[in-house]
Amino acid sequence: MIKTVGIVGLGLIGGSMAKTVRETTTCRIYACNRSKNIVEQAIAEDVIHGELNADTLKECDLLILNLYARRNIEYVKENIAFMKKGAILVDSTGIKGSVCEELSDFCEENGVHFIGGHPMAGIEKSGYQYSFFGLFNNATMILCKDHNTDEALFDETKAFFLKLGFGKIRVTTAAEHDAVIAYTSQMAHLVSSAYIKSPTCEQRYGFSAGSFKDLTRVAYLNEDMWTELFAENREHLLAELDVFIKNVQDYRDVLAAEDYDSLHKMLAEGRICKENDNRREEEYKATFEK
């Protein structure tokens, strides 16, 4: 039973996780952060009960890791000796292959249980000051299974995150996660970053509305984190980029050739793809079991 939770990292996700655990459970909460003043602030705001350290780690039934991917790995390896035997560790980073590969067996050999996780929630700002209770309401929590998965502990972890307000738990593997997230998340950030660099952006005021805002919103990103995520998922991201570049080149070619019949057909194909995507999403929502 999860009675004490440790939060590693109090940025947007970690801070929101701490505030959400505080509001929705009776768990005792400890947290650590690179900037000690953030921990002190969270204690003063009654978000957490104390600092996560070598002593309080021993109490934690669940640890939620919210650092960058490589730093999560380092943290676990540096602190495994202080962790409670049988504890559950869940990370929240946007890459799963390298993290699960390095931590799953290592944790199992040391008497704790690692589950790769990824809350599908966020905003374009980062830092504890932007964290809030409600960030995860009705969001999907991704949890990865592998050869070390303990079904009873996995079910307990699923139930815990549903209690926090997540609408769905998506069970997958690290490999599937990284292949799909390259398309659904990483490509969106990369394309947004490239799109905003047009010199015409300086003239757009008074000429832009919702479509511009939608396409450029995530260009406001944390370049330290996203550089690491792109690098860790390089092969999947390159494959998606190749598809995207070919599609854009096809549009450019027919436009340059003044082949408007082909352009019309291609635009119709895109609309149909989106219609099919909307239909499949509704089917998914209707049949998904928590």
All domains in the chain, ordered by first residue: 4-172 (3.40.50.720), 177-257 (1.10.3660.10)
pTM for this predicted structure: 0.92
Question: In a structure prediction context, what are the per-residue pLDDT tens digits for the chain, which is 290 residues long?
Answer: 999 999 999 999 999 999 999 999 999 999 999 999 999 999 999 999 999 999 999 999 999 999 999 999 999 999 999 999 999 999 999 999 999 999 999 999 999 999 999 999 988 888 999 999 999 999 999 999 999 999 999 999 999 999 999 999 999 999 999 999 999 999 999 999 999 999 999 999 999 999 999 999 999 999 999 999 999 999 999 999 999 999 999 999 999 999 999 999 999 999 999 999 999 999 988 876 54
Q: Which two tokens stand for residue 110?
A: 């040391």
Per-residue exposure over 43-65, b if at least 16 CB sit within 10 Å of its own CB, e if not? beeebbbebbeeebbebbbbbbb
Give the per-residue pLDDT at 285: 83
Are the beta carbons of 11 and 93 closer than 8 angstroms?
Answer: no
Closest CA to 216 of 241, 242, 189, 252: 189
Q: CA 247 to CA 259: how far, in whole Å?
A: 16
Q: CA 198 to CA 208: how far, in whole Å?
A: 14
